[in-house]
Amino acid sequence: LLLRWRWRRGLWKKVKEARQRQERSLVQMEMAVRCFREQHPSMNMISILSLPLPELSKKLRDGSLPLEHVFYAYVGKALQIATETNCITEYLQESETQVRKAKRTGKLGLLYGVPVSIKDSIDCQGHDSTLGFIKNLNKPAAEDSVVVQVLRRQGAIPFVKTNVPVSLISYDCKNLIFGQTFNPLLYTRTPGGSSGGEGALIGGGGSILGFGTDVGGSLRFPAAFCGICTLKPTGNRLRPLAMNALFWSLPVVTAVGPMAKDVESLALCMRALLCEDMFNLDSTVPPLPFNEEVYSSTQPLRIGYYETDFFTMPSPAMRRAVRETKQLLEDAGHTLVPFELTNVDYVVFNFCFRGVFADGGTSFLKKFKGELDKSVRLFFWLAKSPNWLKTVLSWIAKPFLLMPFFGFVSFFSTVDEVWSLHHEIEEFCRQFIAQWKKLNLDVMLCPMLGPAFGIGYPGKLSVAISYTVLYNALDFPAGVVPVTMVTDEDEEELKGYQGYFRDWWDRTLAKAFRGSVGLPVAVQCVALPWQEELCLRFMKEVETL
């Protein structure tokens, strides 16, 4: 008991020190901004913050806007949003040195002088990448991840790291170290996750460009919930982060991607990153520069669409968002073709949950060993149980659709079954692409879960990721664009929402949707692998209409 008490005391001491560092970061930001404003009282912060990224970047590169003014304007706004939403975990104070040393000589990068926010799990030299785990505190990264190195070479200035849920397997944003992050649009709502700190900061206007990762919707949930845009590229189009931060199985592909207020900002970011620096720093990234011709094309598109996946019933606002977008696209001269999804429940449970927890959850649970988080206590007990008991419990839970909760610890562990899973996913992907090609589609319009849930609901509704995780299993590029807001009519129609199974999950989902009038609702735009430019072109069309 004494040893256990000492161990717990040591962990809480590390948490306390981390929170103090977080508080000091905010104080440093406040002091830096105050000092700069005293020296430059005429700085027009509002006009700087109102500039879209392409225009801001142009002014920075031609020298018509001082780099320092832009940097401290965003530090000041980020401080305000962090105070309101608890989205920032650390201020990268060396960014001030980078600003002072920046020289307008030679060829300037496309992102010269642009302040950029970085998700906690993406390595920045000299700073922790905790993933919400206490054990990862006080273990600063030895070097920048590839994406951060390329950002710096393009002139961008990473200035803060942002909050994540513990382990990144959640579309909420809370951990024992830094606590809960709140949605800047409504503080009683989650910003989404796992890139929730990024979503809150950009959605609140505290960052003009940010970077997160996506293993089941971790870029797309925060974007949809906070009313901003994002692009989840094909898995290896951009190199994500230090691989020690990942413990997922290969069947479900992780991607790194940008988040911003508008689609043109995402396109500018991809132009900057898909460069020789990226290809030279990591030879596993295919040398595919940004295809300007595809992005700039005005040819009419042939667009597949669906309103539901017949697994997670869309909210009235989700369904209306797809219908209204479809109509606008048709009116603009594009061809819309119905696309029917099948067996999404099988994809979610057998490809995604089984893919991530292919070893019976052993690797996942190892990450929680020695942590204070009590949310996985039942998982620990199940993992240590004999196989016959796991099987019995999973069959008992199955009628209640609690399969992901109990079932993953009874999933296969043999090499043969893992290979079979890989083969099944490849075959599903082949069939999906064959259906796509048969309809001669360019892109796909899909629903996006929303509006933002109340805090705590994502943890109860893990199966509601069906609309996003499908495209991680397929490894298709997918973007999110906000298109409408929840109306009183949507709220009234929601009273009749029962879901497809009329079970506990559906009843809880109906509660999560309620009371959301005025919150943003988005759609997903999807393209085939390696066609990020076409995906962005489609997103731009949707945004414009």
DSSP 407: G
Query: CA–CA distance from 486 to each of 16, 450, 516 (Å)?
Result: 40, 9, 6
Annotated binding-site positions for substrate: 168, 194, 215-218
- Hunting for tokens 């929303």 — which residue is that? 450
Q: How buried is 219 (Cβ within 10 angstroms: 0-12 exposed, 13-18 middle, 19+ buried)?
A: buried
Residue 337's Cβ-side half-sphere holds a number of Cα atoms within 13 Å equal to 16
Is 326 marked active-site? no
- Exactly one of 95, 145, 218, 516 is catalytic; which is it? 218
CA distance 433 to 435: 5
Does residue 194 have a cis bond before it (omega within 30 degrees)? Answer: yes
Give the strand pairing for 335-338 and 255-260. Answer: unpaired
Give the strand pairing for 157-162 and 88-91. Answer: antiparallel
CA distance 262 to 113: 19
Residue 144's Cβ-side half-sphere holds a number of Cα atoms within 13 Å equal to 16
Residue in 145, 61, 157 with CA at minimum distance from that of residue 101: 157
Is 194 marked active-site? yes
- Exactly one of 129, 194, 249, 466 is catalytic; which is it? 194
- Hunting for tokens 């990448």 — which residue is that? 129
- Exactly one of 25, 77, 95, 119 is catalytic; which is it? 119
Residue 118 contacts residue 59 (beta carbons within 8 Å): no
DSSP states of 240-255? -S-GGG----TTS--E
Query: CA–CA distance from 522 to each of 60, 76, 343, 371 (Å)?
Result: 31, 29, 24, 36
Give the type of residue at 199. G
DSSP states of 182-233? -BTTBTTB---SSSHHHHHHHHTTS-SEEEEEESSSTTHHHHHHHT-EEEE-
Give the strand pairing for 115-119 and 209-214. Answer: parallel
Query: CA–CA distance from 96 to each of 73, 89, 144, 450, 490 (Å)?
Result: 13, 17, 17, 38, 47
Is 64 marked active-site? no
Active site residues: 119, 194, 218
